[in-house]
Amino acid sequence: MDSDSQSAVIVPLPEPRLEHGQGHFDQVVGEGSLAGTAGAHDVDRVDARWLDQLADGLSEHAWLELDLADRLPEGLVPALLNEVKILERTEAMSRAGIGRGADLVKDRSVRRDSIAWLEGFTEPQASLFRFLDQLMAGLNQKLFLGLKRYEAHYATYQAGDFYKCHLDSFRGRASRMISLVLYLNDDWGLEDGGELQVFSPREEDRAIGLVRPEAGRAVLFLSEEVPHEVLPARRTRYSIACWFRQDEVPLPL
């Protein structure tokens, strides 16, 4: 977006990296209801024609809405939804914050969601990561972005929660380049609110898209370019936010 934009740049609070077999993920792994995703039998779900569509959408519009229901392994979205509900029930979600380092604060006037970072320790997470690996490789092939890694977290919005207009990355930091948001919510109606409002990269006050957070729907956009906000939800809303990055190691806080 324009260099004189006043949009806040908002970064989720870092979560401690859990060792495998420790903490709340142990309980999630132990839930039999999370079994049944494709695992080692995942197939190549990112074909050249689809990648061309993604590349064209990002190049021409800086964002696009996707339906990943048929791209992800069968049963994965319900398994991820079940997992985040377990994390929520066991109080493993942490309130998200804004800023970095000494400026990092939990400002509920800007955002009110809670998050839990994905580590790939459970089969649903590992299956999602396999898809993200393929997607990252494909985006690099088509757009020559030099993406090296990604990070992702669950986000939970309770009734009344929101996330004001922001960008996902500071311009020129060579960190977050592409954002992907995947929605996990069953039977989400217009009356439930919680839509993602997308604004023009050049005219921040002009809305250009409204995405309902239905299960399997997703939004892909340029992290440094596209302002967006989450409108107030009227019931609990679940999603996964992912960022594809150019840096090889996490930036210091």
pLDDT by residue for the chain (253 residues), tens only, comes to: 444 333 333 333 334 333 333 344 444 544 444 444 544 445 678 999 999 999 999 999 999 999 999 999 999 999 999 999 999 998 888 876 555 444 444 556 667 789 999 999 999 999 999 999 999 999 999 999 999 999 999 999 999 999 999 898 877 665 899 999 999 999 999 999 999 999 999 998 899 999 999 999 999 999 999 999 999 999 999 999 999 999 887 655 4
pLDDT at 252: 53
Return the CATH class of domain 45-245.
mainly beta
pLDDT at 168: 83
Q: What is the pLDDT of residues 139-168, one digit of tens each?
A: 999 999 999 999 999 999 999 999 999 898
- DSSP structure string for the chain: --TT--PEE--PPPPPPPPTT-THHHHHHT-GGG--S-GGG------HHHHHHHHHHHHHHSEEEEE-TTTSPTTHHHHHHHHHHHHHHTT--EE--BSSGGG-B--TTTB--EEEE--S-SHHHHHHHHHHHHHHHHHHHHH-----EEEEEEEEE-TT--EEEEESS-TTSSSEEEEEEEE-BSS--GGGB-PEEEE-SS-TT-EEEEE--BTTEEEEEETTT--EEEPPBSS-EEEEEEEEES-SSPPP-
pLDDT at 241: 98
